Amino acid sequence: MAIMINTSLGDFVIDLHTELCPLTCKNFLKLCKMKYYNNCLFHLVQKDFIMQTGDPTGTGSGGDSMYKLLYGDQARFFQDEIHPKLKHDKVGTVAMASAGENLNASQFYITARPGIDYLDGKHTIFGEIAEGIDTIMRINEAYVDEKGRPFKNIRVKHTYILDDPFEDPPQLVELIPESSPELKLPKEGEEVRLEDDWVPMDEKQDPEELDRSLRQKEAHSRAVVLEMIGDVPDAEMKPPENVLFICKLNPVTQEEDLEIIFSRFGKVLSADIIRDYKTGDSLCYGFIGEKTVSFVSFLISALQVS
């Protein structure tokens, strides 16, 4: 069971201990579904120790649990789920940043080094970083003030649920917004800080280059998701140069149809539609192959003209 978190410094994926910590994992998953964490600051970064987020107020003193949002103030906090086998023994341990015993809400932290055993038994460890330790290390290197807040804001931008074993409570659908909450601008008199992905005016990309960059980032994020759910073995893999990737296929299109369609450009050696390994249904993308690169180049040119 996993969540991919997109931040202003990159992505990381959390594997959740859903069997050992069902209350905590359900709370985390449903808050993600509510887009509760979107725009949350990493309000505390202690180098080579921990980084903390999950408070929509950005102060480190706010945040509500899914249970409060569903059932009211009496359910703001939920109890600890502490297990002896779960320890702060690795970089990327994910645990609840509680206000005290059995006072868990929305805030959580991620460890930046192993061997923080004095936190064992005090905080609920509910996950670990499965992909994206390099992002965690970038956050760890942030320049911070005397209170541990980064001088440049580092934010959670989006959360993507890769697998959720818990049924949604009936009331949850009313709490799921159509879009992310708006980024709140500082009030008059409040300190203003740059966003970490801010680019100086003289270094900004032209619109076409910026659009291309955003598309590349989105494509990579989707590739990581495909790797996590097992549709591709490696997010960085690429097809051979003599293979053409095709997408947005009609779900009823078969390999034989592709061979007929593309045979007018030359001899097709292979036509493969990628299918769901459980149901066999088309995933609406596939590959056309030939033994020469020139065939694919000609095919691309021909399709652009068509």
Residue 202's pLDDT is 47
What is the rounded CA–CA span in Å between residue 129 and residue 45?
17
pLDDT in the model for residue 261: 81
Domains of the chain: 2-175 (2.40.100.10), 199-237 (no CATH), 243-305 (3.30.70.330)
This prediction's pTM: 0.69
3-state secondary structure string across 236-259 = CCCCCCCEEEEECCCCCCCHHHHH
Q: How many CB atoms lie within 10 A of CB 120?
A: 16
- At residue 230, the pLDDT reads 67
Per-residue model confidence (pLDDT) at position 201: 46
CA angle 161, 2, 184 (to 5 degrees): 45
Model confidence over 147-202: pLDDT tens digits? 999 999 999 999 988 888 999 998 888 888 888 877 776 666 667 777 766 555 44
Of the chain, the end-to-end C-alpha distance in Å amounts to 44
Q: At 114, which amino acid appears?
A: P
Given the DSSP bridges, would you call strands 44-46 and 10-16 parallel, antiparallel or unpaired?
Answer: unpaired
CA distance 111 to 104: 18
- What residues contact residue 284 under an 8 Å CB cut-off, 6+ apart? 247, 248, 249, 250, 251
Q: What distance in Å separates the CA atoms of residue 180 and residue 34, rounded to the nearest whole number?
A: 9
pLDDT at 113: 95
Closest by CA to 180, choosing from 210, 160, 157, is 157
Report the C-alpha dihedral over residues 277, 279, 280, 282, rounded to 10 degrees. -100
pLDDT at 268 (0 to 100): 81
Low-confidence residues of the chain: pLDDT under 50: 201-203, 293, 303, 305-306
The per-residue pLDDT for 101 is 92
Amino acid of residue 299 = L
